[in-house]
Amino acid sequence: MNETFKALSDPTRRKILDLLKESDLTAGEISGHFNMSKPSISQHLKILKNAGLVQDVKKGQFVVYSLNTTIFQDIISWAFNFTDDQKENKRG
């Protein structure tokens, strides 16, 4: 979870995730949405990939990035334990 939350603590990386929510994208397409050098975006993508938040698949000469939705389910399950709903369950 350390790496996951560290990856999520950066607004550029969260914006990349927002873009990937709409559709799978190449690194070039992602870069087009930012005023930032391609190597910077590549570095952010690498951190997101290492944290398991995105995956990349080679399609011909391109690498296409997509969300790894299961990790978001893991975050939901983790956070749910800290909500009042969970407390109610325990009492009931």
Interface residues toward a second copy, by CB under 8 A? 1-6, 8-11, 14, 17, 21, 67, 69, 72-73, 75-76, 79-84, 87
Residue 76 or 92: which CB sits closer to a second copy? 76
Shortest distance, CB of residue 8 to a second copy, whole angstroms? 4
Shortest distance, CB of residue 61 to a second copy, whole angstroms? 27
Inter-axis angle of helices 38-50 and 11-22, to 10 degrees?
80
Q: Show the tokens assigned to 71.
A: 């990790």
| Segments of 13-89 assigned E as strands | 25-26, 54-59, 62-67
